[in-house]
Amino acid sequence: TASVKISPSILSADFAKLGEEIRAIDAAGCDWIHVDVMDGHFVPNITIGPAVVKALRPHTDKLFDVHLMISPVDAYLEAFAEAGADIITIHPEAGPHSHRTIQAIKALGKKAGVVLNPGTPAKMLDYLIDEVDLVLVMSVNPGFGGQSFISSQLRKVDAIRKMIDQTGRDIHLEVDGGITVDTAPLAISAGADVLVAGTATFTGGPSQYAANIRALRGE
Ligand code: DX5
Ligand code: ZN
């Protein structure tokens, strides 16, 4: 559908020229920009921190969708907010006080999201959904780009779509991991309205970004 938002994950960009890459995906018509933050502790990989988010901020006006895969998380929220994050998304498994963490993100004036790992049930949202602006369903185990889509997560997307509709609130439902031209339509029909795409956006280099993004939207 034309209304689905594409949030390219810069994890698959050329890290030696991130500013240029951000300008290229902006020009190619992406909706948001997905920033994967990993600490080598919560997930088995290390990426970037607030200094890089801050350096990238002047390169685009598009929304920064910052996915924090770090533990502990609370001590870093302010730094990411100040660096220019618009949405900050956290894993409930990253600490014992996810409800408090979500309140802290909102108190910083940012939108708050909660992420569910492939093994985490939708039920985890029961007492969080009324507090968040976004739910992110991981369709791979977090840590790396380029993994295969885990189809069992479609059932979870469908269940969460129903939960969101019941709230009557405008909560984004985002799917992250293994999104391709083949899996994007499945995620969309299950109820996703935002798709993260790393490999599928950046494959082929800058001349292909616009076509890649259009293809993910089904255009
Ligand atoms: C995985 C990250 C994803 C990942 C997506 O831990 O959260 O955002 O970069 O990459 P692809 O689209 O290549 O699966
Ligand atoms: Zn991500």
* Chain segment 147-205, per-residue pLDDT in tens: 999 999 999 999 999 999 999 999 999 999 999 999 999 999 999 999 999 999 999 99
Q: Enumerate the H helices of the chain as residue ranges.
A: 18-27, 50-56, 77-83, 98-107, 153-167, 184-190, 199-202, 209-216
pLDDT value of residue 38: 98
The pTM of this model reads: 0.98
The pick from 6, 9, 70, 114 for probing ligand 1's pocket by mutation, whose C-beta has the most ligand atoms within 8 angstroms, reads: 9
pLDDT digit string (tens) for 89-114?
999 999 999 999 999 999 999 999 99
Per this entry, what is the length of the chain?
219
Query: Ligand 1 pocket, 176 CB below 6 A?
Result: yes
Cα(179) to centroid(ligand 1), Å: 8
Q: For the chain, what is the domain count? A: 1
| Beta-carbon contacts of residue 15 (< 8 Å; ≥ 6 apart) | none
CA of 145 to the centre of ligand 1 (A): 4
Determine contact, residues 87/133, Cβ cutoff 8 Å.
Answer: yes
Summarize the annotated binding site for substrate as residue ranges: 9, 67, 143-146, 176-178
Q: Which domain holds residue 62?
A: 5-216
Task: Please tell me if the CB atom of residue 89 comes closer than 6 angstroms to any atom of ligand 1.
Answer: no
CATH number at residue 39: 3.20.20.70
pLDDT tens-place string over residues 24-74 = 999 999 999 999 999 999 999 999 999 999 999 999 999 999 999 999 999
